[in-house]
Amino acid sequence: MKKHFLTFFGVFYLGLITLQAQWSANFTYSSNISRDSLVFTGPYVTDGTYFWDFGDGSKDTVIMMEWAGHKYSAPGMYNVCLTIEDYMAVKKSSCQTVTVQSVADYAGALIKPGDLNVNNVVINTPNDSTVVITNYLPVKGDTLQYFWDFGDGYTSKKHSPAHIYRNIIDVQRKFTITLTIKDTINKQIFSYSTPVTLGVSACSVRFNYLITNDSVQFFGVQTGGLSDIYWFFGDGTTEWNTLTPKHKYNPGLYTVAMIGVDDVVNPTCFDYTYQTIQLGAVKCNATFDYFIDSATNTVSFRSTTLGYPSGRYWIFGDGTVSTQANPVHQFSKPGSYTVMYTVRDTGCMDFSKQAITIGAISNDIAPDFIYHADNSGSHYVAFHNRTIGNVDRFIWSFGDGDTSSQKNPTHSYFKDGYYRACLTAFHDTIRCTKCKSVYSVGNSYSRKCNAGFVYTMDSGTITRVSFFNKSSSYGTMSYEWDFGNGQVSNLQNPSGIVFTNPGYYKVSLKITDNYTCRSTAYAMIKVRMNTAGLKTAIGRNVGDSTRAKAQGYPVDFVSISHGDAAKLKWSFGDGSFDTLTENPTHMYYPASYIPERDTFTVCLEVWDQITNLYDKTCEVVNVKSPAAAVDEPLVSLNDELNIYPNPFSNFTTVEYTLAEPGMVTVSLLKPDGTVVRELLHQYKPAGTGRLMIESSEITSGPYLVEFSANDIRKVRKVLIIK
């Protein structure tokens, strides 16, 4: 029998909920590397009966004794639950996911995983911006190397550091502090993470949960009288304004988030928390630790994946890749990089990514955000900025043509569905963009699907790539794969696809469900090439006659890249460009050119200003050719008022639609409502009309375009960049 011990991952929130009495069922656990059992300890409850479920089919009932030991026969992830019944027959429950790995992997370790806990790593916050860490783990010179990541882009290699958080953009911020220890003798790496909250907040949220078969009962707690509670269950579904939702899952690992906001009394009051839960057996998980040597820009990665996966694939953010289990990679320069890791086993594929910072974040910017959507069907989405680094200003692009320069904007989408929202952060000459898929809640099943996939590849002479579908839909899906090498497939999870020649390949997955919802996902894969660099490609949908208006043709473009593209620029071939939107929709007017044009050369440039990596690709687009379509519309244009391009430099087009004749007024306003220019005040017939905004005498910045006609008033945001 192999011995096994417990490895700590992530953050576990204890003491989360109190029901009816002043005790809870939360428990802790520990392991000893010299034994093959785990020790679980619950709270002491007078005359309590403790019902333990160890997650592997074994159970135990203990009377008036708060601890229990259990031996696991194999490595794995186990969902352990404790139910306590007191002398008044009051019952409470708590669950946690524990990870058990083989002790052979850590034989001779100078530090045991069980040593990484709150008793040996003590974090104090003497004021609203400072943490002081007392580290009781041993000091052994270069034998044990310590690396601290404070979660704000700054790091330390001291044994017991102190840190001051700067540039905190909210009154109250949560950070995750991560300690990584490298045992240079035994070539082992251990990580431990714990949350820290700075500042004082009048509101907070937290939750616990109980798993029964395929259902999870969540128990949320909020303080501060929050007006709205949002749940994200990790499987693409959400729920709104309940503290105790119940949700059914398929077997697997899910990251569940709870968000609380107060939109009534104190709009600045906001808090969020998340936990990873497990249902059923987990065969593979793509988790990893890393240790950074800032002096040489070298990072040592250690896979903490369960078992022995048949395939591994790393993408390091600078365009290089690896199929090793525990690679060591040297980056060309300090900065922020997104590292992605995918593992494959029989019937299982998992994917994870982490943003790592080499050196001080002062050399770079790391934009990030979270969001929550109003479940009432109003299409409002609130965005919460989580950027780290020295930032001068922000620009948001919401994926539907609208923008904002606010720090934490709220945006109303015209229709429900998925949108690609982007946050761009600026500091001096550095600009960095982060984009995420955002769902605007509504009632149309025809827009409730989202394509996605991950992949791994082997490292043989002939490269074989396996793909795993991660698409979501409310209906039954069909699949259309194009691997960019002349091969196609309609399988859900195609595997063993052969790529004979080295190079870059543009892979696409198009899903269609029985609600007529269509969505396409892309990836640029790199075969048997391992030099650092960026590579980009263009995906598009062209010539959908149902969306053409006033002799104009909307084209949906998709940015596809391999490597971290911090900055991008679209040039649409008609004199306009876009530097903020990852997947823009652009309107072409062939008849406005003499002679009339059907084709335009579209170019996409991507680069990273820290590493100086750069790539550019161009394609000729025939805007009247449906045969060129490779994707469905990502965003439908508003039927009453559209502005394109937006942002713009020299000119933009305002397009409006009237259901009946009437007096039309269109004005350009400052954000405070001051009129900059009246663009139109005239009686117009029913139908579609257009007018131009020319910016030669207007300064750069955000503006509003106001449209009014027949008791209809619309306001759109525009951004002028020169």
More confident residue, 19 or 535: 535
- The confidence score (pLDDT) of residue 354 equals 87
Q: What ranges in 92-228 are assigned the alpha helix state H? A: none
pTM for the whole structure: 0.68
Q: What is the pLDDT of residues 382-399, one digit of tens each?
A: 898 888 877 888 999 998
Is-contact 353 340, C-beta < 8 A?
yes
Strand order in the sheet with 246-248: 204-212, 215-223, 246-248
Burial of 86 (0-12, 13-18, 19+ CB in 10 A): middle
CA dist 350 and 313 (Å) reads 11
Domains, the chain, in order of start with CATH, read: 4-106 (2.60.40.10), 113-198 (2.60.40.10), 204-279 (2.60.40.10), 288-362 (2.60.40.10), 364-443 (2.60.40.10), 463-628 (2.60.40.10), 641-720 (2.60.40.3080)
546 contacts: CB under 8 Å, gap ≥ 6: none
Task: Outline where 98-229 has alpha helix (H).
Answer: none
Comparing 73 with 492, the larger pLDDT belongs to 492
- DSSP string across 50-117: EEEE-SSS-EEEEES--EEEEE-SS-EEEEEEEEEE-TT--EEEEEEEEEEEEGGGGTT-SS-GGG-S
DSSP secondary structure code for residue 593 in this structure: S
From CA 572, how far away is CA 552, in angstroms rounded? 14
The per-residue pLDDT for 244 is 92
Length of the chain as a residue count: 722
pLDDT at 603: 92
CA-nearest of 305, 359, 312 to 337 is 359
Question: Apex CA 520: angle with CA 432 and CA 342, to 5°?
Answer: 65
Please list the alpha-helical segments (H only) found in 309-409: none
Task: Answer with the residue of higher pLDDT: 393 or 265.
Answer: 393
**pLDDT on residue 101:** 63
- Three-state DSSP state, 362: helix
Give the mean pLDDT of 190-208: 81
Mean pLDDT of 8-24: 41
Confidence of residue 570 (pLDDT cuts 50, 70, 90): very high
Model confidence at 39, pLDDT cuts 50, 70, 90, reads confident
Tell me how crowded residue 603 is: count the other CB atoms within 10 A of its CB: 16
Write the pLDDT tens digit of every residue in 109-160. 677 666 777 778 899 988 888 999 999 888 877 788 899 988 887 888 899 9
Average pLDDT, the chain: 79
pLDDT 10s digits, 552-568: 667 778 888 887 777 88
Report residue 578's pLDDT band, with 50, 70 and 90 as the boundaries: confident
Q: Rounded to an integer, what distance in angstroms lies between the CA atom of residue 235 and that of residue 9?
A: 21
User: 418-469 pLDDT, tens per residue?
Assistant: 888 999 998 887 888 888 888 876 655 445 788 889 898 886 667 889 998 8
Tens digit of each residue's pLDDT (9 = 90 or more) over 271-323: 888 888 877 766 677 888 899 988 899 999 988 886 678 888 999 988 888 98
CA-to-CA distance for 126 and 434, rounded, in angstroms?
A: 33
Distance from C-alpha of 231 to C-alpha of 206, rounded to nearest angstrom = 11
The least confident of 3-7, 184-188, 372-376, 478-482 is 3-7
DSSP 670: -
In our burial notation (b when 16+ CB lie closer than 10 A, e otherwise), range 500-531 reads eeeebbbbbbbbbbebebbbbbbbbbbbbeee
Contact 377, 240 (CB under 8 A): no
Q: What percent of the chain has pLDDT over 70?
A: 84
